[in-house]
Structures are given as C-alpha cells and as structure tokens.
Amino acid sequence: MKQLVARTALRALLVRGRVNSNMFTRCVSTAYVVKHEKEAEKPMLVHDCCGGFGDFNIRSEHVSLLGRFNLGWRRMCSASATEKKDEKPPTMGTVKKDHNGGGSVAVPSYWGIETAKMKIARKDGSKWPWNSFMPWETHQADLSIDVKKHHVPKNIADKVAYVIVKLLRIPTDMFFQRRYGCRAMMLETVAAVPGMVGGMLLHLKSIRRFEHSGSWIKALLEEAENERMHLMTMMELVRPKWHERLLVILVQGVFFSSFFACYVASPRLAHRIVGYLEEEAIHSYTEFLKDIDDGKIENVKAPAIAIDYWGLPEDATLKDVVTVIRADEAHHRDVNHFASDIRNQGKELREAAAPIGYH
C-alpha cells in the first residue's frame, strides 16, 4: 500500500506539474486529520491522476513519506537551479590578426572550428601570415607564354567586341595617362568581375538544368580570384585617392550590370570582350615594365603578399611582380578566347573540358 500511495503521489507531481507539491501534501495531511477526528469508517477517495478515484486508506506514515519526497524534490530542484546558475558560457577562442585582417577578434569555439589551433607554415617553417589565401592556393606563373599573341576578329561578334574594348580604353588613357600603378589598380577592379559573373551564371544554369558544367564554373571563379589577388597586390604598392575610389565604385556598378546583361544575351560576345580586355591589360603591363626599365618608376621591393602568392624569391622586386601578373593576364586571354571559340562552333561550354590550372 505504501508503494501504491507513493506512486500515486509521484504521478500527481510529474504529470500535473502545475500543482505544487507543497499544496498537495498539505491537502493530504488536512484530509487525514479531519478523517481521523471524525473517525469515519469509509476510506478517502484519492485521485490517481490516471482517470479515476481509488479507494485508498491514507495513514500518517504515508503523509510523512510524501513529506520526505517533497523535501527531496525541492532539494533536487534547487540543485538544478544552482547548476544552471554556475554554468559558464561557451569558451571563446581568440584569433589574432595582423595587417591582413587587422586587430584581434574573439571567435566562438563551440562550432568546432578552432582556427586558433590551425598551424599553417611556409616551407621554411615560419608562420603563414595570410588569411585571404592558403599555401595550397598559390601557383607558379608560366612566364614562357606568348604575351604578343592577338586574336584577329573574324565575324561580326568579334568586331563588335574589339570596338567596345577600344572605346573603353579611350577614357582610361585620358584619366590615368602613364600612371600605370593607378591604372593597374583600376584595371584589376574591372578584370575581377567577368569571371565571377560567368561562373555565377553557369552555376545557376547547371543546377537549373541538372547538368555538369565541364569544370567551367571552377575555371572562371579561379580567374576571378586570381584577378582579385592582383588587386590586393597592387593595393600594397598604390594608395588610391578618394576620387579614384569613388570612380571604382561607379565603374564597377556600371560594368557589372552591363556585363551581366551581355553574358545572358550572348556568352560568346561576353567571353570575346574579356579576351580583348586581357590583351589590353597585357599591353598596359608591358608599358609598365618599360617605365621600370627606363627608371621612370622605382623598382621597389616586391610586397610580401606577392612573394608568398607567386612563390617569388625573397629579393624579388616590382618588376618581378608585374612580370608574373602579365603572364596571368595572358593565360586569362587564352581561356576567354577559347571559350568564345567553343560558342562560335555552336557548342555549350560544358562540351569541352575547361583548362583548369592553365595559369
């Protein structure tokens, strides 16, 4: 009978949590006292919380049992509350950033990504200082590529692309003249757009049509990332003024919208335009090298980011940096002319494997 009463009380406390255990105990105790004083012979009806009343005789030992249970229950609740109060917030790991990121930032470690413990080093064992790219994302520029190669316009689309690029060069020459550092900075802010636009549209097309892309998505995004690294390198050498930064914002907005519409309407024309833009970039960097050789531009030490990204020697100079950037532009020229030739044949880009890692 003791076990039955205890089980009944426990169900009353757990199933109907809104009923306070103290109140339940007092009710049972009062009922027993009244019952005892009146010396009634009929057993008290106690609800068993499971669908009815049962005939149970509640005695003093039962009440004391419930009292002990209530005391234990209160202790357990208070202990749980104490544990919650003493619970510490998630541990925070601190990642210190250098000039590549600036300052220091606290990073929550409960995601399981503990970047503070990542030990990435150069080949010589020194710490890797960059967050924007990792050692396995660097590459050796192929300087043997022909930088003088030119695609002769063969059809109307080619001629339209060629004229567009030549027209775009006129305001650039007027604004920058022979300030090739600022010219390169502006050029790279534009050159990093087509690869991202083309890769994005091919990505959407691939998932929309449930078909592979022939690795062209990766190839174009690699091109965009490489051009962006050109810009990050140039930013170590050139400090654009406020009006040049404003110009970058305006040019990027106009060029992105225009190139996006062009790629949707005619990918063949879009890739041909990029091919000719890269030819103009090669010409600009060639003139840049001439001014360095003539002493018009100081051949300063290469930025650290360029040394690590292209794997240049420690004593590399600005001339070495411009040389490898020009080689990259030549590879982008070939890739985009190749893509346009594929479209000229009436084929999809995915039908021909993309030249991954060509640069």
For residue 9, what pLDDT is reported?
63
Domains of the chain, residue spans: 156-351
| 116: DSSP letter | G
CA distances from 135 to 108, 138, 148, 323 (A): 25, 6, 31, 21
Superfamily (CATH) of domain 156-351: Alternative oxidase (1.20.1260.140)
- Nearest to residue 282, comparing CAs of 233, 323, 241? 323
Element containing residue 45 per DSSP (H, E): strand 44-47
Tokens 């000719």 found at: 276
Phi-psi region of 338 (alpha: psi -120 to 50; beta: other; left: phi over 0): alpha
Q: What is the mean pLDDT of the chain?
A: 77
Residue 80, both tokens: 């749980």
Grouping H, G, I as helix, E, B as strand and the rest as coil, residue 327 is helix
For residue 98, name the pLDDT band (cuts at 50, 70, 90): low
Q: What are 190-217's pLDDT values in tens digits?
A: 899 999 999 999 999 999 999 999 999 9
State pTM to two decimals: 0.68
Grouping H, G, I as helix, E, B as strand and the rest as coil, residue 56 is strand
Q: What are 45-55's pLDDT values in tens digits?
A: 444 444 444 44
What residues contact 13, with CB distance under 8 A and at least 6 apart? 19, 21, 24, 73
Tokens 């199933």 found at: 15
- DSSP letters for 232-263: HHHHHH----HHHHHHHHHHHHHHHHHHHHHH
Measured distance CA(222)–CA(235) in Å, rounded:
20
Please check whether residue 269 is in contact with residue 160, taking contact to mean a CB–CB distance below 8 angstroms.
Answer: yes
Measured distance CA(222)–CA(231) in Å, rounded:
14
Grouping H, G, I as helix, E, B as strand and the rest as coil, residue 23 is helix
What residues contact 253, with CB distance under 8 A and at least 6 apart? none
Q: What does DSSP say about strands 53-56 and 44-47: parallel, antiparallel, or unpaired?
A: antiparallel
Please check whether residue 319 is in contact with residue 337, taking contact to mean a CB–CB distance below 8 angstroms.
Answer: no
For residue 286, what pLDDT is reported?
92
